[in-house]
Amino acid sequence: MHSLRTLKGAGAVFMAAWWIHSIDHMRRGVSASPDGVIWSGTFVAMLAVISLTLIFTEQKSAALFAAIVFPLVGVGVLLSHLPPDWGPLSDPIIFDSNTDGWSIVAVMTEVLAAFWLGYVAAKAVRSEQLSSVSAGPVS
């Protein structure tokens, strides 16, 4: 199925982007980020692993799960890193920050990959819906 191959490709891109962002956190030192950011990032990683496992094992629910999870991942990472410090889930990389350009690239790479995977997954869900409608009722 073509949409599944595309979903796997977008999943592989997200995995690479997630590793880049994670390596940046390690480079800066885990203690540089508030505990809330570390714990929420761990939760996001668990959701991503579940979703990516569904994708790469070609489960029927993979596209729907990814279409829900990855846009939320993108929004969460954006809200955690781009605005100025706003609370325990905030780790600003632009405002009030001692980070460098590498951190901005790492974060934006993951955000774009998450939104791309969510988009590809939503297209796959839509394609599956259209093909099931065009197939007609089962006799």
State both tokens at 74: 């993108």
Query: Could you list the pLDDT tens digit for every one of the 139 residues in the chain?
Result: 455 579 999 999 999 999 999 999 999 888 888 999 999 999 999 999 999 999 999 999 999 999 999 999 999 999 999 989 899 999 888 887 778 889 999 999 999 999 999 999 999 999 877 766 555 555 5
The packing angle between helices 2-28 and 62-81, to 10°, is 30
Determine how many CB atoms are found less than 10 A away from the CB of residue 127: 15
Stated pTM of the model = 0.87
Hey, where are the domains in the chain?
2-133
Q: How close are the terminal C-alpha atoms of the chain, in Å? A: 24
Could you tell me if 16 and 94 are in contact, meaning their C-beta atoms sit under 8 angstroms apart?
no
